[in-house]
Amino acid sequence: MLADFVDWEILNQLENSQYQAIDKLLDIYFLFLAFITTRKWQQVNAKLIATITFLLRVIGTTLFLYTSNGIYLVIFPNVFEFYFVFYAGLRYFLSKEPTINSVTLVLVTVILTILKLAQELHIHT
C-alpha cells in the first residue's frame, strides 16, 4: 500500500497520461488476488463486506478508466484494501478465524471508509 502511494506521488509529476491507467489496472489485479483469498473466510458477513467493497472499487476504476475523471475514485474509494488488511491481519495474529459480530464489522468498515475517503480526496482532487 505504501509503495503504491509513493509511486503515485513520484510518477504523477511526470505527466504520463498512461501511468494512471496502468496503475489502476495493476491495482485491480492485486485486489483481485486478495479478493480470491477472502473466499476462504468462514464468516459470511466478513466475506459479504469484502465482496461489496471490492465490487465498488472495480466499478469506480472502470468509470475512471472510461472517463479519466478522478472523482469516480473518490466516489468509489478503495475501502477493500484497508478492509482486507484489517481482517486478514486479525486472522493472522489470532491464528484463527475471528468471530466479530455484524455491527462491529459495519462500524469498522465505516471507519475505514472515512480514512480511505480522506486519502482519496488528497490524491484525486
Could you list the residue range(s) of the whole structural domain that residue 58 is in? 2-124
Place 20 in a pLDDT band, splitting at 50, 70 and 90. Answer: confident
The CA angle 123-67-12, to the nearest 5 degrees, is: 35
* CA separation for the pair 103, 69 (Å, rounded): 34
The per-residue pLDDT for range 81-108, each reduced to its tens digit, is 999 999 999 999 998 888 899 999 999 9
Q: How many domains does the chain fold into?
A: 1
The three three-digit cell numbers of residue 66, written as one number: 472510461
Contact residues for 65 (Cβ-Cβ < 8 A; gap 6+): 21, 24, 25
The three three-digit cell numbers of residue 112, written as one number: 475505514
Of 17 and 96, the structure prediction assigns the larger pLDDT to 96
The three three-digit cell numbers of residue 81, written as one number: 484494501
pLDDT, average across residues 1-11 = 56
SS3 letters for 42-61? CCHHHHHHHHHHHHHHHHHH
Is 19:39 a contact under the CB 8 Å cutoff?
no
Of 123 and 54, the structure prediction assigns the larger pLDDT to 54
For the full predicted model, state whether its pTM sits above 0.75: yes
* CA separation for the pair 103, 110 (Å, rounded): 11
* CA separation for the pair 80, 112 (Å, rounded): 9
